[in-house]
C-alpha cells in the first residue's frame, strides 16, 4: 500500500495538488462525475485512493455523487467531490441535505466561464454566490479560495479540518487558472500536517442525542456501525433526530445551524494582508486576480501611493467586521473579480460610505498588474 502523504517537492498542477491534499487530510472516499476543469482531481483520486485503502466511484451524475458523499460521511469516512459550475448547480439540493444532517464533507468547485455550459476550458469566478446561496433556506457554509498550487494543497486540508470541526459542508472555490497552472508544490511530512477529526460522543449509546449541541454548538457525531442507533433526516428535527414540525423546533435548529458558523467566524476567517496598516486605497481580491494585485500594489507603493491588498482566503463566512474597521482609514476600495459583480456587493455593504471601484473581467484572462495599477492611480486622484 502506498504512502498517504507523498512528502517532497513537486512541479504540479493545482488539481493534482488538491487531490494530494485531500488524501493527506484523511479523505478515503471520492464520488464524482467528469467535468472540465475539475476532471484531473477525479483522475488523480481514482489512481491514488485504492492504493491507500480508499475508494473512488464515478457516479451517473453530480446528484448521485453528492448523495454518496453524505452517505460515506455518515459511515465515518472523510469524503469529497469535485466539480465545476454546472455540476455544482446539480449538487445544491443534496448540499442542503448535508447542511441539515450536519454531514462533514468537502466540495471542490473549479470555476469556469458561465452561465450554462459557458466556457468549459476558461477561467472565471462566477460561482461565489452560488456556493453560498445555491441551496434553499437559511444556512451557513464555509468556503475557501486558493490563489496558488500550494494553497490548493494546503486549503484542501484546511477544508477537511473545518468540515470536521463544525460538521458542515466546506467548499474549495478555485478558478480554472489555479486548477490547471503548474507551480512548485511542497508537501510536508505527515507529522507536520495538522489534522482535525470529528468529535465523537462520550455518552453510551442509550443516552446519545445525535443533534444535541456540544462545544461551539456542534453535536458530537456517532457514525453508522459504531453501535449507536439514531435517526437522521432532512426534515426539521429535534435533538433525537426525529421529525418535529413545530415552530419552536424549526427556530431552534436553524438558529443553531447558522450560529455555529457565525459565532465562530473570527476563528474560521483567513486573510492575507499586504501594506494594509496605513493603506488609503485598498484592493480586495481573491484567487488568480489577487496575484496581479500583489505586483500592482507594490508598484503603487514605489510611486508613493499608500495602496494595500486584502486577499480573501475565506470568502464565506465573509469578513464584514474586518472590512468595516478598515474602511475608517480608507479613501477608496478597488474590487477585482472575474465575473460581473458578486464579491463587490458584499464589499460595498461592509465599507459604506467609502467609494468602491469595481473592475470586472468576463473573459478567460485575469486582471493584468498594469490594469490594477491604473485603477489605483485613478483612485488617488
pLDDT tens track for 18-52 = 999 999 999 999 999 999 999 999 999 999 999 99
Q: What is the pLDDT of residue 2?
A: 76
Contact 165, 218 (CB under 8 A): yes
Assign a CATH topology to domain 8-192.
Answer: Rossmann fold (3.40.50)
Q: Can you name the residues that pair with 316 across neighbouring β-strands?
A: 143
Domain ranges for the chain, please list them. 8-192, 205-266, 271-380
Cα distances (Å, whole numbers) of residue 20 to 25, 145, 285: 9, 17, 26
- Report domain 271-380's class: alpha beta
Q: Are strands 356-360 and 307-312 parallel, antiparallel or unpaired?
A: unpaired
Confidence (pLDDT) at 95: 98
Q: Which pLDDT does position 168 carry in this prediction?
A: 98
CA torsion through residues 369, 371, 376, 377, sign:
positive
Express each pLDDT in 65-85 by its tens digit: 999 999 999 999 999 999 999
- Name the residue among 38, 32, 49 with its Cα closest to residue 15: 38
- Which parts of the chain have pLDDT scores under 70? 1
Cα(144)–Cα(286) distance, integer angstroms: 10
Beta strands in 130-264, from DSSP E residues, in sequence order: 142-144, 169-175, 182-187
The Cα–Cα gap between 381 and 9 comes to 46
Taking CA 355 as the corner, what is the angle to CA 354 and CA 356, rounded to the nearest 5 degrees? 115
Find cell 490594477 and name the residue: 372
* 271-380 has the same fold as 8-192: yes
CA–CA separation, 356 and 277 (whole Å): 19
C-alpha cell at 108: 471542490
269 and 317 Cβ atoms separated by less than 8 Å:
yes
Question: Residue 363: what pLDDT?
Answer: 79
Burial class of residue 11 in the structure, from the number of CB atoms within 10 Å of its CB (0-12 exposed, 13-18 middle, 19+ buried): exposed
The C-alpha cell at 267 is: 476563528
pTM > 0.75: yes or no:
yes
What per-residue confidence (pLDDT) applies to 365? 85
Please give the backbone phi and psi of residue 77, each rounded to the nearest 5 degrees, phi first. -110, 140
Name the grid cell of 182: 503548474
- pLDDT score for 1: 64
Instruction: Count H helices and E strands in the chain, helices first.
Output: 13, 15
pLDDT at residue number 339: 96
Question: Alpha carbon of 224 to those of 28, 76, 231: distances in Å?
Answer: 16, 7, 10
Amino acid at each position: 500500500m502506498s504512502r498517504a502523504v507523498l512528502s517532497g517537492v513537486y512541479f504540479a498542477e493545482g488539481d493534482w495538488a488538491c487531490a494530494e491534499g485531500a488524501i493527506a487530510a484523511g479523505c478515503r472516499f471520492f464520488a464524482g462525475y467528469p467535468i472540465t476543469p475539475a476532471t484531473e482531481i477525479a483522475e488523480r483520486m481514482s489512481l491514488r485512493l485504492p492504493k491507500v485503502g480508499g475508494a473512488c466511484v464515478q457516479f451517473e451524475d453530480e446528484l448521485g455523487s453528492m448523495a454518496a458523499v453524505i452517505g460515506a460521511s455518515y459511515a465515518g469516512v472523510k469524503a469529497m467531490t469535485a466539480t465545476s459550475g454546472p455540476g455544482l448547480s446539480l449538487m445544491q439540493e443534496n448540499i442542503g441535505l448535508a447542511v441539515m444532517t450536519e454531514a462533514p464533507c468537502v466540495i471542490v468547485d473549479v470555476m469556469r466561464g458561465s452561465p450554462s455550459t459557458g466556457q468549459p476550458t476558461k477561467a472565471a469566478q462566477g460561482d461565489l454566490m452560488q456556493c453560498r446561496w445555491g441551496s434553499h433556506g437559511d444556512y451557513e457554509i464555509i468556503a475557501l479560495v486558493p490563489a496558488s498550487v500550494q494553497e490548493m494543497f494546503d486549503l484542501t486540508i484546511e477544508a477537511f479540518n473545518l468540515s470536521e470541526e463544525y460538521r458542515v459542508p466546506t467548499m474549495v472555490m478555485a478558478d480554472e487558472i489555479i486548477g490547471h497552472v503548474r507551480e512548485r508544490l511542497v508537501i510536508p511530512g505527515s507529522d507536520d500536517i495538522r489534522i482535525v477529526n470529528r468529535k465523537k460522543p462520550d455518552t453510551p449509546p442509550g443516552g446519545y442525542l445525535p443533534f444535541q449541541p456540544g462545544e461551539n454548538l456542534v453535536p458530537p457525531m456517532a457514525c453508522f456501525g459504531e453501535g449507536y442507533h439514531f435517526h437522521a433526516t432532512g426534515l426539521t428535527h429535534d435533538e433525537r433526530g426525529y421529525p418535529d414540525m413545530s415552530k419552536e423546533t424549526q427556530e431552534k435548529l436553524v438558529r443553531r445551524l447558522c450560529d455555529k458558523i457565525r459565532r465562530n467566524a473570527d476563528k474560521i476567517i483567513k486573510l492575507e494582508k499586504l501594506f494594509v496598516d496605513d493603506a488609503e486605497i485598498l484592493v480586495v481580491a481573491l484567487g488568480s486576480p489577487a496575484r496581479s494585485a500583489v505586483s500592482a500594489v507594490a508598484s503603487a507603493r514605489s510611486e508613493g501611493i499608500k495602496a494595500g491588498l486584502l486577499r480573501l482566503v475565506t470568502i464565506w463566512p465573509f469578513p464584514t467586521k474586518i472590512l468595516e474597521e478598515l474602511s475608517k482609514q480608507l479613501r477608496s476600495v478597488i474590487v477585482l473579480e472575474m465575473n460581473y459583480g458578486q464579491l463587490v456587493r458584499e464589499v460595498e455593504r461592509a465599507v459604506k460610505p467609502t467609494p468602491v471601484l469595481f473592475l470586472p473581467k468576463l473573459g478567460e484572462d485575469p486582471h493584468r498588474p498594469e490594469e490594477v495599477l491604473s485603477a489605483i492611480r485613478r483612485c488617488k486622484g
